[in-house]
Structure formats: C-alpha cells, structure tokens
Amino acid sequence: MGIRINGIVVDANDPDLLAEFWSRLLGLAITRREDEWISLGPNFAVQRVPETKSVKNRVHIDLVADDFAQAVVLAAELGASPVGEMQEDLWQVWRDPEGNEFCICVS
C-alpha cells in the first residue's frame, strides 16, 4: 500500500485574496476556481473556512528561495509580514495576509 501527499491546502476567509498572494509568491497559475476552493498548479489550493486564524499553525510550509533577499521583498510587497528575525542565517518565519505561518529558507 502506498500513501502520498496529494497537495497542500491553506484555509482562508478570503480565498481570492490568499489565492492571489500564493499564486504570485510561488509563480503558480490558478487552475480551478469554485466558490469555496481555488487550485493553484497541480498540488496547492486555498479553501474557504468560516473561522478566522487564532493560534499558531501546527503545520507550516517551508519555501526555499534561490534569492532570499528578493523573496522576502516580494513576500512583503504581496502583503506578508515577518515574524521575528532571520534564524541561524538560514530561515525566517512569515505570515501570509491572513496570518498563516510559513518559512522562507535560504537555498
């Protein structure tokens, strides 16, 4: 029996806002759009949820950037905000426009 990850799904109150953010940050095209669900590329999606984010994510996405400085500038321009300083000169925690944590890591 094989089990594999089919995709990553981010919860959102405003799926259009987060789909645009993640699409532009990751360079993924929006491939499917429904009222409650927006797919980006083959393995990433945003889904509408009624509750707002209230605590730290138990699971987060680690992104590896070819150019860390350029990646953090783009993330900020798109509405993300850093959480603290760079760690071990290797990674920094960020929040997307709805507060979901993710890391941008040095390549």
CA distance 38 to 19: 7
Count of the separate structural domains present in the chain: 1
Angle between helices 15-26 and 68-77 (to 10 degrees): 160
Give the domain CATH number at 34: 3.10.180.10
Query: Considering the domain boundaries, does residue 64 fall inside one?
Result: yes
pLDDT at 10: 96
- The predicted-structure confidence for 6-49, as pLDDT tens digits, reads as follows 999 999 999 999 999 999 999 999 999 999 999 999 999 999 99
Residue 86 identity: M
Residue 1 lies in a domain: no
Does residue 65 form part of some domain?
A: yes
Residue 32 within a domain: yes
